[in-house]
Amino acid sequence: MLRKGIFSLQNLVTIRKGEPSFNPFTGKVEPASYEMIKIAGKGASWECIFYDAAQSACIIHADRPLECSLLQCWDTRGIEAVYGRDCLSRFDLLADQDPIRDHIRRHEQQCSYAQALPFLGHLSSPTPDKASIGKLQGLMRQDLSLREQAVSAFSLSLQQELFYFGRPLFQSLQHPRLRVTMTGASIRLELAAAA
């Protein structure tokens, strides 16, 4: 579809490995076991950008991705058979010499969900240690800093940023006790008392 010009990287969003995401087969939000490329949603919803509600139709129906052609709400066996197999990653869609690849690698090394999720897990303790909160806050700040560097270096739009780097940690890492406050580019984490 990209090669045909049906849609572009700006129409795609990356769900990074380990990112909390909805698993349609378990019905739960859980860490993604692999990286996934998904078609972007409209605004804050996950309604496909290619769905025309007025027509109740897909505007790229003849050229839709495999997963879309396999999805049948009344029988999910087709989509279940390919779920998690031979998934494309960001690197599959980028030229080998694309300089943004180095930024993506550095971001993944310094701000992975594998690093962040254990600190988030510590928040469930009746008395979470402040070092964990500080480290989680540091990861969130580093995530934003690396994104800002790439946005500046490559003049990325928000949609391009979401493809290259996925959702920011401060948006995707949620916990009932965690309050994230942003002032400009500064992030502050506050912990609510245990219920």
Residue at 194: amino acid letter:
A
Q: Which of 52, 70, 91 is the endpoint of a domain?
A: 91
The H or E element containing residue 121 is helix 113-122
- Residue 68 is part of which domain span? 9-91
Last residue of a domain, one of 46, 73, 91: 91
Are 105 and 183 contained in the same domain? yes
For the segment 115-137, the average pLDDT, to the nearest whole number, is: 83
Q: In the chain, how many domains are there?
A: 2
Same domain, 83 and 107: no
pTM of full prediction above 0.85: no
Please name which of 144, 166, 147 lies closest in space to residue 14, comparing C-alpha atoms: 166
Tokens of 91: 């690197």
Q: Can you tell me the distance from the alpha carbon of 83 to that of 36, in angstroms, rounded to the nearest whole number?
A: 10
Determine how many CB atoms are found less than 10 A away from the CB of residue 29: 10
15/78 same-domain check: yes
Q: How far apart (Å, rounded) are the C-alpha atoms in residues 132 and 129?
A: 6
Q: Point out which residues pair with 28 in neighbouring strands.
A: 23
4-57: per-residue pLDDT in tens? 666 788 888 898 999 988 887 788 888 988 888 888 877 766 677 888 888 887
All residues at 6 or more sequence positions from 131 whose CB lies less than 8 Å from its CB, including other chains: none
